Amino acid sequence: MSRKTSKKAKAQKPKKQRKKHEKTEYEKGRDKHREHTNRHYVEIEIHPEPAEQAFLLSYASSNAYVGRRIRAAMRIGLEQLDRNKGYQRLRKEYGETKEHLKTLTPDGDMAIAETEHLESIKAQLTYWQNYYDVTHANCVEIASHYGKQCGVHAHIVRSTCEDVWQGVEAVLFGDGKKLNSPHSDYEYPVIKAREINRGIVLKVDKKTQELYIVMTDPHERAKNRGRTRRIIRFAPPADDLWLTAEYQRIVAFMLDPHAEEKHVNWFMETGEVTDTWRPC
């Protein structure tokens, strides 16, 4: 006589919802200070070792390939939209309605009716863009796919994706007629990250007081688990006094963990904006 045993299903615990972080007064002041602080670019030419140079060229070429694949996919959708007479008619009507709306009184009945009509046209344009896969979500999905395939850091791929999407927006909503590929993709490929602590991490050596860049090497990660990073050191030329001074100010800021806090507290007390030389 056989006896069947039944397993009781385990009750799943409800997932805890993350509490939304509420910014403190200091964080609000820091954001305002960063918004009003002067910004400028500092270009420093580096001379890496042959191994690091080969790594950078290979990495940049892979990132450029990802950018070309994104543009190719977006270009197909844009060409299909260009051949769609209904979409072109809606786009023309959208532009005319938007210009006519500028001439009307904002609170008038005519302006309200035109605004509703404009939203209706915008919804129809969005439908066709989704139909032909010409959306920001599609752009990110394609970038993520080829980024993983080529071993490029997700944050660097996202920066490349945003650059391509700016061109797509110029064609969709601006005066752009065609999505072109920059010459830098073939001659001088670019590696770019929009944040200083992801993808391309900037650090400072406390002993030598020199800046260096840390990047993840996907090929080394696959071969050897112990070595997954590439360290590239750089310094300004000794005869360039202005660049040397800027370099030293950046190093001084990164060595002092409370440097920005001092500037923000002064800004909150007096309202005076002071330069921090914070790399961003």
**43 sits in which H/E element:** none
Q: How big is the CA angle at 112 (ends 106 and 116), to the nearest 5 degrees?
A: 130
Per-position DSSP letters for 126-155, written without gaps between them: HHHHHHTT-SHHHHHHHHHHHHHHHT--HH
- Please indicate, yes or no, whether the overall pTM of this predicted structure exceeds 0.85: no
Instruction: Per-residue pLDDT tens, the chain, 280 aa: give them.
Output: 444 444 444 555 566 666 777 888 888 888 898 888 888 888 888 888 888 888 888 888 888 899 999 999 999 999 998 888 988 888 888 888 888 888 877 778 888 888 888 888 888 988 998 999 999 999 999 999 999 888 888 888 998 899 899 888 888 876 667 887 775 555 667 788 877 777 888 888 888 888 888 887 766 554 555 446 778 888 888 888 988 898 898 898 888 888 889 999 998 989 888 888 888 7
Instruction: State the Cα–Cα distance between residues 51 and 48, nearest whole angstrom.
Output: 8
Instruction: State the Cα–Cα distance between residues 7 and 72, nearest whole angstrom.
Output: 53
- The 10 Å Cβ neighbour count of residue 69 is 18
Q: CB under 8 Å to 14, separation ≥6 — which residues?
A: none
pLDDT of residue 3: 46
pLDDT of residue 211: 87
Instruction: State the Cα–Cα distance between residues 110 and 31, nearest whole angstrom.
Output: 40
Tokens linked to 92: 């023309």
**21 sits in which H/E element:** none
Q: CB under 8 Å to 241, separation ≥6 — which residues?
A: none
Tokens linked to 230: 């590439």
pLDDT of residue 226: 46
